[in-house]
Amino acid sequence: MNFVQKTRALLMPLKQKSIRRTLFVSVQRMKDLTFRLAEPSDFEKVVKLSEGLYGGHDYLPVVFHQWLTFDNSAIMLALDSDKPIGLLACLVVDEGKTTVRCAGRVVPGYRGLGVLRGLVQGLDDFVQVNFPNVYRERHSMYTAQIPSSKDIPWRKVAEFDALYYNVEEKTSPASKPASDNTLEIESCTKKFFSDVILSPASTPKLFANNLLVVDRIPFEPLRSNIDLIFREHDMHLFVEKGAKACPRSFSHGFYAQRVDAIEWLATFHTDDPDLFKAHLLRQFQRACEVIQGKFSFFTFQNKSMTPLTRSVLGNTLQLKEVDVDIISNAPLGVFERDFMRLKSFKS
């Protein structure tokens, strides 16, 4: 039984929080299409939009109800009559300065007809009314190309190489990788993460382009973002042993339930190959300890560390790298542009 089947079995009527935010134009129409904010009762529509997407690795049905309870999120639906044809979500982060576009999809047959533009406009209207301090928009996607835009141009602000490996049950949890590396990697606490990793002394050295990407959501490495980062994931944080004021390395990983798959997403921040290798092995070991079964191991790292990743995971640990539509061997690019705030806008 996958996640969607379990959710259907357990789903009870949900009471949405009394108006969390001002709902400006909750329903908009474009020709014969309707654009409106999603409600808990739209779960089956979301499942329909996600059918067959990413080979069972889609995350939206898993987080849908949770996102509806967040004060800094919105999910916009596009409907043709009652048929779901598109969806776009956003999260507002960085102390209300950044809106992050995520979970975008338009069904085949409706692409190129302005559906995405209608979804974007609906979310922009919502953000403009409810988050007056937003001045930039970001999103991440697997591509080496800067997304095209007819209005405000996008800028690439960061790029991570992304690799994906299958881990069979026989590999975990018993097969714990032995490292010939003398460097030791140890867990760090949420407090250490806040006080040291996210300190002004550490962030310029650890986070290129001043970005911390968690589950493909870009954050500024700000202490004020910690609660947003931890509320969806049980983060496993690591630094080199003995690190105090200025660590030279940092990695984070977490278990992620998808519609019909389990993932471990590990991201690495260091330019030292030995430290990187030690972190890679430690993240894999922790993933095996936590999941204790079959899963997919995703890694996100600087391009310079990709050959070492393939050597350790493919040659040393004999894992199979997978080329699938999820990543298509493309890097994970983070893009941003100015948020267009209309001066004449009225609620």
pLDDT at 230: 95
Using alpha carbons, select from 242, 218, 230 the residue that is nearest to residue 194.
Answer: 230
Mean residue pLDDT across the chain: 87
Residue 13 confidence class, pLDDT cut points 50, 70, 90 = very low
Domains of the chain with bracketed CATH? 3-134 (3.40.630.30), 161-332 (3.40.630)
Residue 94 confidence class, pLDDT cut points 50, 70, 90 = very high
Quote the tokens at residue 331.
């890097």
Question: Given a cut of 50, is residue 128 above it in pLDDT?
Answer: yes
Q: How far is CA 1 from CA 9, 53, 124, 290, in A?
A: 10, 18, 37, 20
DSSP H or E segment with residue 161? strand 155-167
Mean pLDDT computed over 332-347 = 79
pLDDT in tens, 18-36: 334 444 444 565 668 999 9
Write the burial class of residue 137 (CB in 10 Å: 0-12 exposed, 13-18 middle, 19+ buried): buried
Question: Are residues 28 and 137 in contact, defined by beta-carbon separation less than 8 angstroms?
Answer: no
